[in-house]
Structures are given as C-alpha cells and as structure tokens.
Amino acid sequence: MDITLFTAKESPTTFFSQSHDHRHRHRLHRLRFPNLAMQSSTSQSSEYSLDHSLPATVGKWASTLLNECARAISDKDSNKIHHLLWMLNELASPYGDSDQKLAYYFLQALFCKVTETGLTCYKTLITVAEKNYSFDSALKLILKFQEVSPWMTFGHVASNGAILEALERETKLHIIDISDTLCTQWPTLLESLATRNDDTPHLKLTVVSTTTKVKSLMKEIGQRMEKFARLMGVPFEFNPITNLNQLSDLENEALKVEEDEAIAINCNGALRTVKIEERNAVISMLKSLKPRVLTIVEEEADFISSKNKFLSYFDECLRFYTLYFKMLEECFEATSNEKLGLERECSRNIVRLLGCGNESELERELTSERREKGKQWSKRLEERGFSSARFSDDVMDDVKALLKRYKPGWSLMHWTGATDTNRDEEEGGDDSNGIYLTWKEEPVVWISAWKP
C-alpha cells in the first residue's frame, strides 16, 4: 500500500511502501509537527493502544479513527496524533473499499495539516492532474459518471427544462454557461431547439471557465459543439471566456450581450469556487445581466458555517465525502478507471479543505471549494434581489423519469424535506426554492431556478 506522506522538509510526491520497505515502517513516529505544542510524555494518549482500538476496524472504522485523529489534532495531543496517523497508514489504501479509500485521502489531508505542508501538496496534486489531463480522458470520465449516476445529469435535466421554458418563443437566445462540465449538458438542449414548433432560434453559447485544465480544451469543445449544432440545424455561435483566474473578474463586456437577446445563465458547481467575501458581488453582477432565468446547481454541504471550528468543519467534510465515496463504490465497477479519477479529484479537494488552513494568504492564492447548502444559497440570492421560480410539472416529470434509469437508492426531495411521492404540495412538499437529489435518503445535490 502506497501513500503520499511528507514532512515539511520533504517533497509532497515522496512515497513509501508499508508492505515492501520496512525501513520506513515507523517513519510517522519520527515526524515533527510544527504547529502543535508537544504534550507531556504522560499524556493519556500513551494508553491508546492498537489492540484497544481494533474494534474500530469493524464496520465504519475509517470514520471512527479519522474522528479520533481530528480530535487529537484539535487537542494538540501529539502522542495520540502520531499513533492514530500510524494506525490509519496501516489500514488505508487508495485501491481498497470505500472505508480504506476514505482513510487514505483524509489521512493525506490531516498529515498536511499537522505538518503545515498543505499548500505545497495541493499545488503538486493539481500540477500532476493538469499534466495528465486530456479532452478524451476528461470526456470519458464525465460520460461514464453520467451513465452510472444521476449526480450530474439531475442538474442538467432540470436546468435545461427551466431554460427552455424561460426562453420559449424567443428567436435570439444567449446562454451563459458557468461550469466545467465540458458542455456535456447542451447537446440535448440543442436537440430540443431543433424540434421546436416555431422557427429554430439562433443560439449563442458563452462558456466561462476559470479552471486551467478546462481552458486548454475549450477550442476542441467549441469545434465539437459547432459541428453538432450544424447537424441539428441550429444557428449557433460559441463564445468561450478563458482569460479569467476567478469568476469575480468576469466583466459584462466579455459576455458580448446584445440588446435583442434573451439571456439564461447556468451555474453548475461554479458559485462554490468564488471566494466567500466575493459571492454576493458575483450574484449581483449576474442579476445586472437581467436574465430570463438563472439556474443554480450545487452539492449539498456546508463548508462555511464552521470553517473556523476545526472539529465541526471536519465532521461536515467527512459526512459529505463518506456519502460520495460510498456512492461511487456502489455505482461503478471496482476496477473502473473513471471511478479512480473521481476519487483522486476528491483527494485534491479534501487536501484543499482540510490541509491548507484558512489563512488569508492561502485563500488569495487558491480557488475556493467552500460549498454552501441550498438554504444558504437561497438566502444570498434573495438578498441580492432574485426571486425563486418553481419547476413546472413537465420538468419535474422529466427529472423523475431520469432517476428511474439508475439503480435504486436515488430519489427526489422538495425544499420542505418531504421525499417525492406525489407532486401536490400537501403530500410532496414545495419546490419553490429548489429540489434535491437524494442518495439513500441523504440530500446530495441542490438545483434551483431564479428570476431577477
């Protein structure tokens, strides 16, 4: 079992093998954690033996040990930290079951936190990911994920339905897509436009990307979209915006909005990348464009409220990624390369969230991964002058039909928290502030539509 672990003086790409290199077996016990005050050798952690903790390896052992380790870090108990990191290192693996993988990736983040090497590790992981990134591999991953799970397609179907209804009978459409989904959302929308009863409208698609690896693919994405639009007989213009480092740098002029265009804005996983203090300003900027509809898709997690309370923050990160890893394990085949790619993407986010700290200099240097829950986004949107829009019965029927294509465990939940069995409000809840995709009765993705 290999794991990326390093001290402040070591490279973040240093690997050591537990099973084959016994010289490094106890390396963790010799590490020094610069941000932890050393505890007395008589610390109670000396009583925390491996044998005493073995029951934790049965069932949900990863969560148990990771929570213990996080608590030891919060308590600055260096002896216990050494011991728990060693235990996790013995049990974790990026190629095992969901518990082993969870332990592996969270161990990396916790190690980065106590050794203050998170920023170096994160940059290295990003560099490696970008170096191995290609259009074909990225598209294959996304399409496979969409095939086995509605995690992405849920937002695509609901957003497309809301956009098509908002732009109905308009002849000059302008969709501003702020996402990194490689335009996989738009072929079905183009098909719908091609079969409209009235004249086929002209569509301008502006794609805004702040991710370096996606920017490099935009030319090929544009060529493929233009070719597909010609095939569908839809007049089409592709307008990529790739000169931004962050969404808050976006200016109206770059969007090339014309007065006679009917505008729709689609934000899929985009708002969470905006720095917290800039989110309201970005929402106000979107409102100034006067869109017919704004669709928001975000994963349901709160990485904001407790960001300065390490244990609470850790608990929420662990809760969300435990769900995600178990979902991947059930949806994909065990040997799937696409599943491994999604897990590695998670590992980068976990290091970003837990290993890099909250220092302002780090926040300035890195994009945010701080998710907010639907109710938090709703409050921001309402405070900036947006009004929520219900999804029509037709859109809801399309979403329900989509979920039937996948394995059992997925369902739809309305804003009130009532799992959907009936569209009527008194039985099924109200979707005026969006709807949730749930997995095993846990909300995981939130989609909503808004009007200025």
Q: Which domains, ranges and CATH numbers included, belong to the chain? A: 61-132+308-359 (no CATH), 138-300+371-416+432-451 (3.40.50.150)
Question: What pLDDT score does 48 carry?
Answer: 45
Instruction: Say if residues 298 and 271 touch (Cβ distance below 8 Å).
Output: yes
Question: What pLDDT score does 210 carry?
Answer: 83
Q: Any idea what DSSP says for residue 247?
A: G
Range 9-17 contact pairs with CB under 8 angstroms and sequence separation of 24 or more: 11/124, 12/117, 12/120, 12/121, 12/124, 12/125, 13/124, 13/128
Instruction: Say if residues 181 and 266 touch (Cβ distance below 8 Å).
Output: no
Question: In a 3-state reduction of DSSP, which class is residue 204?
Answer: strand
Question: What pLDDT score does 37 carry?
Answer: 41
Q: Which of 146, 133, 161 is CA-nearest to residue 348?
A: 133
Question: What pLDDT score does 267 carry?
Answer: 96
**pLDDT 10s digit of each residue in the chain, 452 long?**
333 333 333 333 333 233 333 333 334 434 444 444 434 333 343 344 444 444 444 458 999 999 999 999 999 999 999 999 999 999 999 988 889 999 999 999 999 999 989 888 988 998 888 888 888 889 999 999 999 999 999 999 999 999 999 999 999 999 999 998 999 999 999 999 999 888 899 999 999 988 777 878 888 999 999 999 999 999 999 999 988 888 888 988 889 899 999 999 999 999 998 988 899 999 999 999 999 999 999 999 999 887 778 999 999 999 999 999 999 999 999 899 999 999 999 999 999 889 886 554 555 555 667 899 999 999 999 999 999 999 999 999 999 999 999 999 999 998 654 444 443 333 344 455 899 999 999 999 999 999 99
- Token pair recorded at residue 383: 């405070």
How far is residue 350's CA from residue 307's CA, in Å, rounded to a whole number?
13
Question: What pLDDT score does 416 carry?
Answer: 58
Question: What pLDDT score does 428 carry?
Answer: 42
How far is residue 366's CA from residue 369's CA, in Å, rounded to a whole number?
9
Question: In a 3-state reduction of DSSP, which class is residue 65?
Answer: helix
Mark residue 183 as left, alpha or beta (left: phi above 0; alpha: psi -120 to 50; beta: remaining).
left
Q: Any idea what DSSP says for residue 351?
A: I
Question: What pLDDT score does 8 carry?
Answer: 36
The position carrying tokens 């006679």 is 260
The position carrying tokens 């990396």 is 108
**Residue 205: beta bridge partners?**
175, 238
Instruction: Say if residues 355 and 110 touch (Cβ distance below 8 Å).
Output: yes
- Token pair recorded at residue 163: 């956009």
Q: For every residue of 369-402, which 3-state class applies, written as one string? A: CCCCCHHHHHHHHHHCCCEEECCCHHHHHHHHHH
Contacts of 205 (CB under 8 A, 6+ apart): 175, 177, 183, 186, 225, 236, 237, 238, 239
Contacts of 312 (CB under 8 A, 6+ apart): 305, 306
> DSSP characters for 150-178?
STTHHHHHHHHHHHHHHTTT-SEEEEEEE
How far is residue 337's CA from residue 203's CA, in Å, rounded to a whole number?
35
Instruction: Say if residues 160 and 185 touch (Cβ distance below 8 Å).
Output: yes
Q: Chain centroid to CA 424: how far?
A: 31
Q: Which of 403, 419, 345 is CA-nearest to residue 155?
A: 403
- Token pair recorded at residue 316: 């929420």
Instruction: Say if residues 235 and 203 touch (Cβ distance below 8 Å).
Output: yes
Q: Any idea what DSSP says for residue 358?
A: S
Q: Chain centroid to CA 435: how far?
A: 18
Q: b/e string for 176-211 if b means 16 or more Cβ within 10 A?
A: bbbbbbbbbbbeebbeebeeeeeeebbbbbbbbbbb
Q: Terminus-to-terminus CA distance in the chain, angstroms? A: 53
Question: What pLDDT score does 387 carry?
Answer: 94
Q: Which of 362, 240, 357, 368 is CA-nearest to residue 298?
A: 368
Phi/psi at 173 (5° precision): -105, 145
Q: Any idea what DSSP says for residue 354?
A: I
**Residue 177: beta bridge partners?**
207, 266
Question: In a 3-state reduction of DSSP, which class is residue 279?
Answer: helix
Question: What pLDDT score does 253 carry?
Answer: 85
Tell me the HSE value of 387 on the side-chain side, using a 13 A CA sphere.
5
